[in-house]
């Protein structure tokens, strides 16, 4: 709960009153941000001939979304986005990489995460996993937009 309070600059009264955003984010953080068992995805690139699809494991730790090759790998800042820098999260084949590389993958398993300077194009194990991550990250986007006014 401390990490959520810090991340969202929440007052103690927000937590005690059990506001809806706290309940939602607390549930999502528990489901997603487990550093010991990151969520498995397939990462696609714009040019699949040069960079073939590869397994990546996503985890949210200390305000950052990390993607790594193996769950036990350390979190590398180079392969991460600060949550405040994520501008858009979409389900579907909305990027060039997902349109080209994921032709056999259903739209509802494709997840595109766009930051200020990069895009992370992913294929989820299921539509439910893609939706869960989209809702979670979209909650952060809305929150940071609210803070920025």
pLDDT in tens, 52-102: 899 999 998 877 899 999 999 999 999 998 888 999 999 999 999 999 876
Domains in the chain, ordered, with CATH?
35-148 (2.30.29.30)
* N-term to C-term CA, the chain: 24
Task: Indicate whether this model's pTM tops 0.75.
Answer: yes
How large is the C-alpha radius of gyration of the chain? 16
8 Å CB contact between 39 and 57: yes
Edge to edge, the sheet with strand 39-44 lists 80-82, 64-68, 54-61, 39-44, 119-124, 110-115, 86-91
Q: What is the pLDDT of residue 102?
A: 65
- Residues 86 and 139: their CA atoms lie apart, in Å, by 11
Q: What is the pLDDT of residues 32-51, one digit of tens each?
A: 656 667 899 999 988 877 88
């Amino acid at each position: 709960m401390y990490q959520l309070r810090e991340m969202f600059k929440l007052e103690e009264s927000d937590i005690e009153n059990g506001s809806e955003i706290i309940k939602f984010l607390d549930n999502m953080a528990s489901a997603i941000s487990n550093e010991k068992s990151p969520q498995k995805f397939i990462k696609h690139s714009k040019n699949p001939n040069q960079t073939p699809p590869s397994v990546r494991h996503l985890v949210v730790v200390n305000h950052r979304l990390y993607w790594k090759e193996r769950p036990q790998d350390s979190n590398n800042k180079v392969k991460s986005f600060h949550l405040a820098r994520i501008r858009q999260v979409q389900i579907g084949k909305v990027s060039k990489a997902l349109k080209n590389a994921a032709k056999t993958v259903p739209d509802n398993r494709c997840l595109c995460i766009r930051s200020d300077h990069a895009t992370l194009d992913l294929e989820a194990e299921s539509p439910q996993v893609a939706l869960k991550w989209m809702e979670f990250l979209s909650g952060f986007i809305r929150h940071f937009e609210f803070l920025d006014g």
